[in-house]
Amino acid sequence: MSAQQTSGQPSAVTKPWSDRLCDAIRDRNSAVCVGLDPRNEQLPAPLRCPAGAPMSQVAAAYREFCNGIIDAVADLVPVVKPQAAFFEQLGPAGMVALGEVIDHAIAAGLLVVLDGKRNDIGTTAEAYAAAYLGSTSPWRCDCLTVSPYLGDDSLDPFVAACDQTASGIFVLVKTSNPGGGFLQDQVAGELAIYRHVARWVTKTNQSRLGASGYGPVGAVVGATYPAQLAELRAAMPGTIILVPGFGAQGGAAADVAGGFDATGNGAIVNNSRHIIFAYQRKEYADTYGAARWQDAARVATQEMNQQLNAVRFTSR
Amino acid sequence: MSAQQTSGQPSAVTKPWSDRLCDAIRDRNSAVCVGLDPRNEQLPAPLRCPAGAPMSQVAAAYREFCNGIIDAVADLVPVVKPQAAFFEQLGPAGMVALGEVIDHAIAAGLLVVLDGKRNDIGTTAEAYAAAYLGSTSPWRCDCLTVSPYLGDDSLDPFVAACDQTASGIFVLVKTSNPGGGFLQDQVAGELAIYRHVARWVTKTNQSRLGASGYGPVGAVVGATYPAQLAELRAAMPGTIILVPGFGAQGGAAADVAGGFDATGNGAIVNNSRHIIFAYQRKEYADTYGAARWQDAARVATQEMNQQLNAVRFTSR
């Protein structure tokens, strides 16, 4: 974190998040989002900490590992997505490390989506929005994932923050887990609940479209539901889609093809474990091994770029 | 935070959360939960920081203020509920302060519900559960608020953590905000979405009931919907209800009466602003003023105890 963080700073970035993201996708020729999900038991030795190590030591290892991944992929992808939970798991020391990782990603020229799935009501939602959104907030994220269960008025403060700080959100619409349908697939008034959320997202974006044709309110739609991904791409014009579930969760390039628009833009596909822990995958382990974990992550990212680029311009 | 936090510690508390909470409600003769929602602009001078103050200075003020509130009410109530958002708004320095406030509450003999409304899928949900639940986790909370949009399988890791660490969760069922109905009131298969969540909560508790008759999986039901509160009290046997919306949001004692069981137990009613900033309320300002903000908080807590105790034993 920067030592001089103060309250009440003015906004610094003015180009809309949606345009910054779409430009970066085009400039890097990549729709890959690298998920920063550190887990001590999968860190390469010697970064891995012994069981019972102080949490401050594990937090330092997470910082070094994530910063190393950032260095390995910074010129290959537009965006990284730190997963807040893994840092919160280490207590306050973990949150300090999270701030340092975000700062490192920004310094490396990457956009940052914090995966926090936050939300609350009223002034508390305003506090979350002020916390995470925009380059003058203390965490300095470009974008935050947000949960919609609390309702449309709980999302409004995040949209207001997007307007004020040229930042963005990704609202959970159709998640990648098997049990996501428990509420999301319930049909009410002839529309699945996830379509109710999608409708709000689309409507909210309509008056906020940037030069890219996209607005600040994105949607999370899992790679594990290819039919719904294509359905939602059509149903949500102007909405950038964040697609989790590629790689370790089972999604492949063909599954996510339907998420892109006719120009191969409008979606980013996240991959966490199969990139950051690529050194453990059998196709890379022999060549790279634990000592060359950064090289393995870089090659895995290049391969995912090739896989996505083979489908994202031909999907329509 | 305690400097010696290490990973992989065994569980320390074995009495179920539900029994610890119900016992504390009975022992203190109080169903009040004091919400710790610090906001710099409402802090009493001289704790209030000037606009543009470093976030580390605001974080120190939040720690001093919240610890002062804890000292003022520790013998009057069973439980406090820090709101994560206000600490996260201060960046890493705020999270360090949050850890210190939780430690202070535990040392004062209070139970701690962290209001974080967290959730995610699979091993990420496990990380949130490991972060917050149980006395050996780094944040050492007894209980965490959790959002259900991601589905039943996203809640399972939290329930497993409750089983392992004698902790609890409160799942969002029917929230107190006007827009809560956007998804929660949608009717699917003849049941409102909030009733689908309530059904899962009740079922999950059935095999986990403690000596109190309650299980670890609580439900959030807002004071601003008295009819649904009474409906859900009847529909969710074995489920402790956390009732937000009392006080500044408009809920009164008569509105929350329906949340209690026949013995006046089974629910806690949260009040944040009308207790912690009681020194600003017109009925206390003349007597106490900013200099005696702790006395004002204490008297406001005593009055809320009286108001709730007048209804919670007569509601059936």
Chain B residues touching A9 at Cβ < 8 A: 52
Q: Is the dihedral of CA A276, A277, A283, A287 positive or negative?
A: positive
Task: For residue range A175-226, list pLDDT tens digits in order.
Answer: 999 999 999 999 999 999 999 999 999 999 999 999 999 999 999 999 999 9
pLDDT per residue as tens digits for the range A48-90: 999 999 999 999 999 999 999 999 999 999 999 999 999 999 9
Residue A112 pLDDT class (50, 70, 90 cuts)? very high
Residue A1 is predicted with a pLDDT of 43
A299, HSE (Cβ side, Cα atoms, 13 Å): 16
| Gyration radius of chain A over CA positions | 19
- Of the candidates B127, B42, B37, B151, the one whose C-alpha atom is nearest the C-alpha of residue A121 is B37
Mean pLDDT of chain A: 95
Q: Is-contact B230 B258, C-beta < 8 A?
A: yes
Instruction: Determine the pLDDT at residue A249.
Output: 82
Q: Determine whether the interchain pair A58/B7 forms a contact, defined as Cβ–Cβ distance below 8 Å.
A: yes
CA dist., res. B186 & res. A88, Å (int): 33
Over residues B248-272, the pLDDT tens digits come to 888 899 999 999 999 999 999 999 9
Architecture category of domain A28-311 in CATH: Alpha-Beta Barrel (3.20)
- Helices marked H in chain A: 17-28, 55-73, 84-88, 91-107, 122-132, 152-165, 181-184, 193-206, 226-235, 253-256, 273-276, 282-285, 293-312
pLDDT at B1 over 70: no
The pLDDT of residue B56 is above 90 = yes
Give the C-alpha distances (Å, rounded to integers) separating A114 from A10, A43, A66, B14, B262: 21, 21, 14, 35, 45
Q: How confident is the model at residue A136 (pLDDT cuts 50, 70, 90)?
A: confident
- How many CB atoms neighbour CB B46 within 10 A? 9
- Rounded-to-integer distance, Cα B144 and Cα B82, Å: 10
Q: With contacts defined as CB-CB under 8 Å, which chain A residues touch B186? A: 186, 188-189, 193, 196
Summarize the confidence of residues A144-158 as an average pLDDT. Answer: 98
Give residue B95's Cα distance to chain centre: 18
A14 touches chain B (CB under 8 A): no
pLDDT value for B136: 87
Q: How far is CA B196 from the centre of its chain?
A: 22
Burial of A82 (0-12, 13-18, 19+ CB in 10 A): buried
Looking at the complex, report in whole angstroms how far the Cα of residue B250 sits from the nearest Cα belonging to chain A. Answer: 14
- For chain A, give the percent of residues with pLDDT over 70: 96
DSSP assigned state of A30:
-
pLDDT digits (tens, 9 = 90+) for A240-268: 999 999 988 888 999 999 999 999 999 99
pLDDT of A36 strictly over 50:
yes
**Res. A2 pLDDT band, cuts 50 70 90:** very low
* Alpha-helix runs per DSSP H in B11-83: 17-28, 55-73
Burial B61-90 (b: 16+ CB within 10 A, else e): bbbbbbbbbbebbbebbbbbbbbbbbbbbb
Which residue on chain A is closest to B101 by alpha carbon? A92
Computed from CA positions of residues B38, B40, B46, B47, in that sequence, does the dihedral angle turn out positive or negative?
Answer: positive
For residue A260, CA distances in Å to A161, A264, A306, B2, B178 come to: 26, 5, 15, 48, 35
Indicate whether B9 pLDDT > 80. Answer: no
What is the domain partition of chain B in residue ranges?
17-312
B94/A121 Cβ within 8 A: no
Q: Considering CB atoms only, which of B83, B179, B188 is closest to A151? A: B179
Chain B, 163-192: which have a CB under 8 Å from a chain A CB? Answer: 172, 175-184, 186-189
Q: What's the complex ipTM?
A: 0.96
pLDDT at A3: 43
CB distance A243 to A256 below 8 Å? yes
Query: Does the annotation count B117 as an active-site position?
Result: yes
Q: Which A residues in the span 264-293 are in contact with B, Cβ-Cβ below 8 Å?
A: none
Round the average pLDDT of chain B to a whole number and report it.
Answer: 95
CATH superfamily of the domain spanning B17-312:
Aldolase class I (3.20.20.70)
Q: Is A95 on the interface with B (CB under 8 A)?
A: yes
**pLDDT band at residue B2 using 50, 70 and 90 as cut-offs:** very low
Write out pLDDT tens, residues B196-251: 999 999 999 999 999 999 999 999 999 999 999 999 999 999 999 999 999 888 88
Residue A96's pLDDT is 97
ω into B38 cis (within 30 of 0): no
**Contact list, A147 vs chain B (CB under 8 Å):** 117, 119, 147, 149-150
Does any CB of chain A come closer than 8 Å to the CB of residue B10?
no
Q: Does residue B90 belong to the interface with chain A, where contact is any CB pair within 8 Å? A: yes
Structure tokens at A160: 């207001």
Question: Distance (Å, rounded) from C-alpha B315 to C-alpha B307?
Answer: 13
- Contact with chain A for residue B24, Cβ under 8 A: no
B113-169 pLDDT, tens digit each = 999 999 999 999 999 999 999 888 999 999 999 999 999 999 999 999 999 999 999
Give the distance from residue A131's alpha carbon to the nearest chain B alpha carbon, in angstroms: 4
The predicted-structure confidence for B99-125, as pLDDT tens digits, reads as follows 999 999 999 999 999 999 999 999 999
Q: Rounded distance, CA B111 to CA B81, Å?
A: 9
A111 forms beta bridges with A79
In this structure, what token pair is assigned to residue B92? Answer: 């890493």
For residue B10, pLDDT over 70 is answered with: no
Q: So what's the pLDDT on residue A247?
A: 87
